[in-house]
A and B are shown apart, each in its own frame.
Chain A
Amino acid sequence: METKEIIYCLKKIVKPYVQNDLAFQDFGRDTDFIKDLEINSANLVDIVLDVEDEFNIAIDNDSMDNMLTVNDAVEIIKTKQREQ
């Protein structure tokens, strides 16, 4: 899957949890889920679960550890898809 496509899917996944709409307008690789979008910490669990469902992958705990930005998520998704 192309990076662009992944980011497009991530944007849809993240949207319902965003607390800072202004930062969401600039959604891109460098967007930080907590610092920029101010997503509530419990909703980060939802995002991990939504990503697993959408991309049909399993995100292990070590990978989840570092899923702080859109870029982190893209890299994790690509790695997991390659492993399958």
Chain B
Amino acid sequence: MFMAGGCRIPTFPGSDVPVPHFQPTDLDQLEAAIADAGADRRRLELLGNGTKRGLGKPVEADALLDLSRLHGVTLYEPEELVLTAGAGTPLHEIEALLAQRGQMLAFEPMDLGPLYGAPPRQATIGGVVACNLAGPRRPKAGAARDWFLGFTAVSGRGERFKAGSRVMKNVTGYDLPKLLAGSHGTLAALAEVTLRVHPAPDETLTLALAGLDVDRAGQAMAVALGCAHEVSGAAYLPAQLTQLSAVERLAGASATLFRLEGISASVAYRAQALEDLLREMQVPVVRLEADVSARLWREVRDLEFLQSERDAVIWRLAVPPALGAQVAQRIQRQLSSARFYLDWGGGLVWVATPTAPDAHAAAMRRAVHETGGHATLMRAPDDLRRLVSVFQPEAAPLAALSERVRAGFDPLGILNSGRMG
């Protein structure tokens, strides 16, 4: 029996009844655990450190499959820009290791733990990949999917398999890492993941434009992302959110933020050029130096502005970037108490609103239906997430295809059953 040896008492959300809890320490044990579960038709909830159990629909499961002991970095070659780690390896351990060699995960994974009431810095790399997370650098540098080179996993069939590789340029067979990224543990349990890593910038600087309304902020972001100055973050915080920031200089007005990263000569040059370009906006520009800038983008990345109201439901809307401002305004007209901010140059709209019987799903889905894109209910109570579609509903042929894809990996539906359903 691989029963839990740790201090956590495993339960399902909303229940204090302990459930069977399997904790494989290697690939053989993982394979046996899933094969056994299949033989017994026992459904498993997969988790690393369990920080994102509130993301997706509540899983219907008979047992927990805890991957946190598939732990440790097995390969890191800085000059080859590649790292391999057990799926249960904490993200912060990997980030610390990379930082020692002046490198980072370019996709800037967010820490969603606190959003779901878990402590910060507990996320595992497997969870980051399985949820295809990406921070403010997404438009320039991609999401987890873009840096996920290869893996070893066990399918819902209880069979280990591998895909991808450790080199960045590979078209041998289907690109299964893309599919596993963002599959929320519904296809296979990741045992080991290989990621491409990236040099960390020497210098970071943020330009903050004070007092733009959302329309003009949208225009400013389109200008900045459409120029050659390699903006690596473009976000808009309305005035009601800047007052929640630890960066006090921003309080009292909206802030439109542009991050520049690179070698110092380049950052200085681009900051000046971008400032000149944005002068036509006729608002004051504040320069935020490295430390302050890092603090601010962490707030943007981790939704810190939206966490003060514990009962609010939170939506994440991915839309064409030039339409982000319009989407946000439309939602605000309909839900006057909604708070929002824009990231990804307008391509990502975060919305927090007091709850409603459908968690405002109809309003959110209408908004993205008109622009193209998708809306995800990122946080809501379990019973509400059982009721509404957490992920964007797909057109019938696509939904049927996705279901066939899922069944090809997990025909019995034993892995994170219902999470994406």
Chain B binds chain A: no
Q: Which residues of A are interface residues toward B (Cβ below 8 A)?
A: none
